[in-house]
Chain A
Amino acid sequence: MSTATTTITADAGAAPRFDAKWLIIAVCVALTLYLAVVPLGFLLWQSFFTPQSAAKAAVFTFDNYRQAYGSEETWTLFLNSLQFATGASLVAFVIGTALAWMNERTNTPFKGLFFALSVIPLIIPGILFTVAWILLGSPKIGLINLVLQNLFDTEAVFVNVYSLWGMIWVDGLHYSPVAFLLMTAAFRAMDPALEESAVMSGASVPQVAARITLPLVWPAVFATILILFVRAIESFEVPALLGLPVGIQVFTSAIYQAVHRYPSQIGLAAALAVTLLLITSVGVYFQSRLSSQGSKYATMTGKGFRPRTIDLGRWRYFTTAIFLLYFLAIVVLPFAVLLWSSLQKFYAVPSMEALSRLTLDPYRTILSYPNLARSVWNSLLLALGSATLVMLVTSVICWIVVKTRLPGRWLLDNIASLPMVFPGLVLGLAIMILYLYLPIGVYGTIWIMLIAYVTRFMPYGLRYNTTSMLQIHKELEESAAMSGASWFTTFWRVILPLLKPGLLAGWIYVVIVSIRELSSSILLYSPGSEVVSILIWELWENGQYVELSALGVMLILALFVLVLAAQWLGRKFGIREA
């Protein structure tokens, strides 16, 4: 009996002799374990030790924790982080839910534009969005202030992004499309027949809302807020660019500062990172609990039904206005302000005079910038390399998890998803520590960033592959075995081609998120291994705003083309986004 439980795999072809299958599986499993678990171990270890140097060996200590949590500042740090993440997630949630409701359940015009929103956070990287909003909302040069000051003829500062509220607004706004997508899915998953049958049972509209609609969407609401919260607490660009100049610290920016101090305090950073990791772990844990519970509530009946929409009457001009205002704030203004600044020799607020000085100089400067070619090359190399590796490795992992009955496969699934809880900055820190101590020559090269990207985006690859893999009937594989195909032939000629939609979609997604990756790279790059997002960061630190804008405009356009290509491929190969 025990032999059966240990050897039955999906094809049960467990021939006792050597098989390429076991080699490939072993390599992929080992790689996953190594990537996901080892850095975590080193991070924890470092948080309890003094830094190792040529003169002194590492010594066990609680000092890092004492320093990190023993002061008044810690309390402020914790409170700031909590306020920022709660605020940003609520802003994103309220905006996203309102839009989702308007789009799904009302007859607001311009519905086609709504779904264009879903790609905004992908094509406008956080750092560019933040910079754009600095140009819009800073107290001195912010266009919004200038316009309002002109209008009312005062000197008062109307908006100030360099504040906790400013941070909350910019970060919440940037990620509101995520909330929009998640809540749209929730609204769609609800069969209108459930509400209609309540109406037929004699319930009034408020009764239906309170006793049917709300309980049904509640898990989705809570899960969405959790996702947004975890994401906001991991956010690095906004706190670094808006918070640090005015001394508002959150965990991510505090970790960054601890590393970049001289001498750098890696132990302190690690101690802070452990708390951050704990918070995100709790969030991700509850979110996964909710979504597994959510399937109980999922009322998908397969083919898309279009719920009845509410006729808003004259109110629909109001909802349209809200939507257009939103569109202005999230796309038009940020892009326009970057475009404007990219056409100036020195940054100047729009005026007739400045209009006459339009120039393409920033583009010329940035294109001849010494690091540009290398950064673009590095970014491309990393994006293509990590996307390919991630998708191939996770396809094997996913096959083991979905298709076999190997004991411990659920553990493998969880381990491969573990990097989900790592904020980018914490992952960067953990990998940095690991390869500082592991002298295999990757520290300070582009390889360390490849490792970081593969680790960070593995869960996404797994997600995309799992969706496709679940749709592959196991008999498609078994019939290949019955036709005489070996495991490798089956995997190569049947599984991978059938996975193609998911593989392609996931591949492009990982390419896009790799190109915009900043928070891991910021701790891992060194001269020679800069990537485009790091270049933008450096331009910002140097105050080269117009060159930054020129690079930003080009990057946004490039990402836009990539997203269009992804959607075209999606239609061609019939990808349905999960």
Chain B
Amino acid sequence: MLTVTGLCTDYVGERGQVVRAAQEVAFEVPAGKLFTLLGPSGCGKTTTLRSIAGLERPVAGEIRVGGDVVFSKNVFIPPNRRGLGMVFQSYAIWPHMTVFENAAFPLRVSRKFSKEKVLRVLKTVALEDFADREATKLSGGQQQRLALARALVMEPRLLLLDEPLSNLDAKLRERMRFELKRLQRELGITTVYVTHDQSEALALSHSIAVMNGGRIEQIGSPREIYERPRNQFVADFVGSTNFLEARVLSREGDFYRVSSQIGGMKVLATDPLANDEIVTISVRPEDIELSERKNDGPNVWEGTVYQKVFLGESVDFVVTVGEHQLQCKAHPSLRTRVEETIYLRADPEKCVALKRN
């Protein structure tokens, strides 16, 4: 449905200097899927989205929507003729219009006004009772839904969402997340979603592109991104993790045996590794099993509890193994005290070896 290839977009900064915001960005979104651009602020995700929208003019690359080229070397379709729907971070609800007029605007400017259509889309987002209200009288969540209604009213081929939940408070954000997911799945509308919030991305997406410094670091399903990060940046940005330096000793099927800062380990690697290669191992805190009795199997170490923080649903431990400290998450029933001995175990499946760049 959407194909982006070799996209480069420059951005002229405050002092006129040229900042390259998106570099060689390429991805494809199949029809009906929700694709997320995830990354820290300034990573180029919003620039990429705005380039698709036509609000920025890329310097190179090609963008196709449903087979039509909307941007390439000699083509630039202005945003008002691309026929895409977009929800802005600030919602951009026009304060001088009613709820109805806001949603009707896209139909009015294209002279395809139909009252039923507007009412239908307002019903979809559960705003039909507010049609005559002034748009400024809506709450944050309602404004967000109105922005969505306005983006959907033209039945666009592609829906673009620019951090649509970031202006809501935490509780509402969680609810809207489910709401948005339900709507997208029901309407089956192809969607590009931009966010810096990893849990939002994991919860909503069919697939995720993690961006950093203008480039895409990894594209994959939420599970792949979380469980099989390709590099340190992705592992660190999505969820929290422990990094350990290690040297590859030998290969064992899909696994490798390495010698790490905390001792011998059996780890998984997505890319083939060479013997003696220096790699970084990523182990997530929740994948480290803690117990007071020593278990059998590979990847078992002995350590001492350095610090613990009770969080209610879980307990965060910092455990010292040799010279090194590891973050671990455990069930609150584990009551080992600070400075007592504790045993750590990690499934080799969950210890991912990352190539150094």
Contacts and interface: CB of A to CB of B under 8 A. Distances in A.
Interface in A485-502: 485-486, 489, 493-494, 497-498, 500
Contact of B94 (A15, A405, A481, A494): A494
Interface string A7-34: 1100111111000000000000000000
A1 B109 contact: no
Contact of B55 (A5, A476, A481): A481
A99 to B, nearest CB: 37
A484 B92 contact: no
A482 interface: yes
B79 A8 contact: no
A478 B88 contact: yes
Contacts of A481: 54-55, 78-80
A292 interface: no
Contacts of A196: none
Contact of A483 (B91, B95, B150): B150
A473 B81 contact: no
A380 interface: no
Interface in B87-138: 88-92, 94-96, 105-106, 109-110
Given A5-B12, A482-B84, A12 B92 contact: no
B10 A13 contact: no
A13 B92 contact: no
B53 interface: yes
Contacts of B96: 497-498, 500
A533 to B, nearest CB: 37
Contacts of B301: none
Chain A, interface size category, equals 20 to 34
Contact of B80 (A14, A405, A473, A485): A485
Most B C-beta atoms less than 10 A away, residue of A11, A405, A476, A494: A476
B105 A480 contact: yes
B59 A475 contact: no
A479 interface: yes
Contacts of A497: 94, 96
A3 interface: yes
Interface in B44-88: 53-57, 59, 76, 78-81, 83-86, 88
Contacts of A151: none
Given A1-B59, A7-B57, A484 B80 contact: yes
A475 to B, nearest CB: 4
A500 B97 CA distance: 13
A411 interface: no
Contacts of B76: 14-16
A486 B56 CA distance: 16
Contacts of A16: 76
Contacts of A5: 12, 16, 18
A446 to B, nearest CB: 35
Given A13-B80, A475-B90, A498-B95, A483 B106 contact: yes
A355 B110 CA distance: 72
B1 to A, nearest CB: 18
A481 B110 CA distance: 12
B95 A3 contact: no
B85 A482 contact: yes
Contacts of B54: 12-13, 481
Given A1-B59, A11-B55, A12-B57, A484 B110 contact: yes
Contacts of A15: 76, 78
B154 interface: yes
A14 B84 CA distance: 18
B151 interface: yes
A484 B109 contact: yes
Interface in A11-70: 11-16
Contact of B83 (A405, A484, A498, A500): A484
B57 A14 contact: yes
Interface string B141-179: 000000100110010000010000000000000000000
A5 B81 CA distance: 23
B80 A8 contact: no
A571 to B, nearest CB: 17
A500 B18 CA distance: 35
A4 interface: yes
B59 A4 contact: yes
B89 A4 contact: no
A15 B18 CA distance: 22
A381 B1 CA distance: 58
A17 to B, nearest CB: 10
Contacts of A479: 86, 88, 92, 94, 147, 150
Nearest to A3: B59
A479 B80 CA distance: 9
Contacts of B106: 483-485
Interface string B181-212: 00000000000000000000000000000000
Contact of B12 (A11, A13, A405, A498): A405
A480 B92 CA distance: 9
A494 B92 CA distance: 11
A478 B18 contact: no
Most B C-beta atoms less than 10 A away, residue of A479, A485, A494: A479
Contacts of A8: 12, 56-57
A483 B12 CA distance: 26
Contacts of B151: 482
B105 A4 contact: no
Nearest to A5: B12
B86 A484 contact: no
A5 B9 CA distance: 11
14 contacts: A3-B57, A12-B57, A12-B79, A13-B79, A405-B12, A475-B89, A476-B94, A480-B105, A481-B55, A482-B79, A485-B80, A485-B106, A497-B96, A500-B96
8 tightest A-B CB contacts, nearest first = A13-B78, A483-B106, A475-B92, A479-B92, A475-B88, A482-B86, A485-B109, A497-B96
Interface of B: 10, 12, 16, 18, 53-57, 59, 76, 78-81, 83-86, 88-92, 94-96, 105-106, 109-110, 147, 150-151, 154, 160
Given A1-B59, A13-B79, A484-B81, 11 more contacts: A1-B10, A11-B55, A12-B57, A405-B12, A478-B88, A479-B88, A479-B150, A482-B53, A482-B84, A494-B94, A500-B96
